[in-house]
């Protein structure tokens, strides 16, 4: 979330709202602390949820979704496809998904 919150947005952007979603409580707390240190708490909301449930919990809610490397937590390609379907469902019509995929470290055994 830091990559978005530290953008130098024009002063004309007043109605921007960021939503952080993660299953990990500690990650959410770190994000909340960072947001508070940047003075942007009034622009942010956080949910402890599974990204695979995003479409059913937030249908057509977001203009933009960013995701970085969630694919490494799931070895089953069909389930990764489900994730991207959920992200698509959570986007408003014409919404944008910015995603990146990470390679799985060799020392991880996901079988």
The DSSP bridge pattern shows strands 91-100 and 62-68 to be parallel
Q: What is the pLDDT of residue 11?
A: 67
Dig out the tokens for 60 from the structure: 């057509």
Decide: 65 and 57 in contact? Cβ < 8 Å: no
The span from the CA of 35 to the CA of 19, in Å, is 11
Higher pLDDT residue, 11 or 4? Answer: 4
Looking at the whole model, is its pTM more than 0.85?
A: no
Dig out the tokens for 90 from the structure: 């959570």
Decide: 73 and 41 in contact? Cβ < 8 Å: no
Query: What does the pLDDT look like over 50-102, one tens digit per residue?
Result: 999 999 999 999 999 998 878 778 889 899 999 999 999 999 999 999 988 77
Higher pLDDT residue, 108 or 23? Answer: 23
- Maximum Cα interatomic distance, the chain, rounded to a whole number of Å: 49
Mean pLDDT of 33-48: 89
């Amino acid at each position: 979330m830091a990559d978005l919150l530290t953008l130098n947005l024009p002063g004309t952007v007043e109605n921007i709202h960021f939503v952080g979603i993660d299953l990990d409580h500690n990650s959410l707390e770190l994000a909340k602390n960072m947001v508070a240190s940047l003075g942007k708490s009034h622009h942010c909301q956080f949910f402890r949820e599974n990204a695979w449930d995003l479409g059913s919990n937030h249908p057509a809610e977001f203009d933009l979704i960013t995701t970085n490397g969630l694919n490494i937590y799931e070895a089953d390609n069909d389930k990764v496809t489900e994730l991207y379907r959920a992200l698509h469902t959570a986007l408003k019509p014409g919404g944008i998904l910015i995603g990146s995929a990470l390679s799985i470290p060799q020392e991880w055994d996901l079988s």
